[in-house]
Amino acid sequence: MEENIKNTELLEDESSIDFGKIFNDLKKHKRLFYKVLPITFVVAAILTLSLPNYYQCTVMLSPEISSNSSGRSSLASLASSFGVNIGLSNAGFGTEALFPTLYPDLVNSTDFKTTLFDVPVTIEGDKEEGEPDRTMTYYDYLNEEQKVPWWSAAIGGTMKAIIGLFVEKKEEKKTIDPFRLTKKQADVVKVLDKKVVCDVDKKTMVITIDVTDQNPVICATMADTVMNRLQKFITDYRTSKARVDLDYNRKIYRETKERYEKARQKYAEFMDSNNDIILQTVRQKQTDLENEMQLQYNAFTQVAAQMLAAEAKVQMETPAFTTLQSATVPVKKAGPGRAKICLIFLFLAFLGTSVYILNKEDDLKPLLGLS
């Protein structure tokens, strides 16, 4: 029994961690820290200063909820606030296929992103140096005016030079076909995936659009453009059937109006040429033409009423959006967080140096529970 106790004490002594020795070993190699940490700080400062500044603009809007299902939407919102899904995911949008939770997928689609290529943006010139403002498309801006770290520029330039030796340069297509994008156009779409982000709060159905860019004015311009184009797409979708019905009613309106005018003209010409004739056949013809004109007039007035109703339906189906936060030019940059990056570098350097010292002094095994 006494032997077992002694063996246990020996094992505890061997496996115990001597924090005093660890501290003294680290302190003994403090000169290594004096060398590693300043060098790490200089390297981190050089790297972070090479990173371009970027800005972020956020817009928020709330879509209109159908009044015919406000009870459903209230019940769904109440249930979702407690984390319960009762099957009313449309949140008051009835059987509509495009409800707000699908808006992020719409914004992330290639078709939507390519519509942003032709948006005109303006780079403000330096007024003190007399530089004029430059206006270009957003696609050209992303291709030609984006700042990159020096190492990315060096690697990219080297790769282009190597590829240029073996691959013949092809002239880029100016037209944009979402079905078949060029490599450069596909790269711009990937860039937009990070620059333009849409999110929807499933409880409140509030749409949030975040746009990130290196230019604060262009950042706000694109945030406002994305918001307007999203509203237009939703409006076109919500009113598509009503607008088709309206176009059909307008076509029928023009046809019935033309038939009525022809019948009226024919009746007037007949009356002018047979005004003094009292034959029964003439009277019968007059009655027939008058009845035909009246029938065409009745059809015309009925179609005119239907067209007015179709116009009212388009207006009724047009959704309303409440802008909770409009686009404004950001004053402060959103990143990069250079101080935070430097601290992370210093922490990793301190950690790596400590592990190196502890391993050198055989203090690492007790820490890891190794014999």
Two tokens, residue 174: 């100016």
Rounded CA gap, 333 and 55, in Å? Answer: 5
Rounded CA gap, 238 and 98, in Å? Answer: 8
| Grouped pLDDT means (10 residues each) for the chain, 371 residues | 50 59 79 89 89 92 64 46 45 54 86 90 78 87 85 68 59 72 88 90 88 92 92 86 90 92 88 73 82 90 91 86 89 88 92 86 66 51
How confident is the model at residue 247, as a pLDDT? 92
Strands 196-200 and 207-213: antiparallel
How confident is the model at residue 70, as a pLDDT? 42
How confident is the model at residue 227, as a pLDDT? 92
Rounded CA gap, 29 and 177, in Å? Answer: 63
**Across-strand partners of 335?**
54
Give the total residue count for the chain: 371
Measured at the alpha carbon of residue 185, what is the angle toward residues 182 and 187, in degrees to the nearest 5? 110
pTM of the model: 0.69
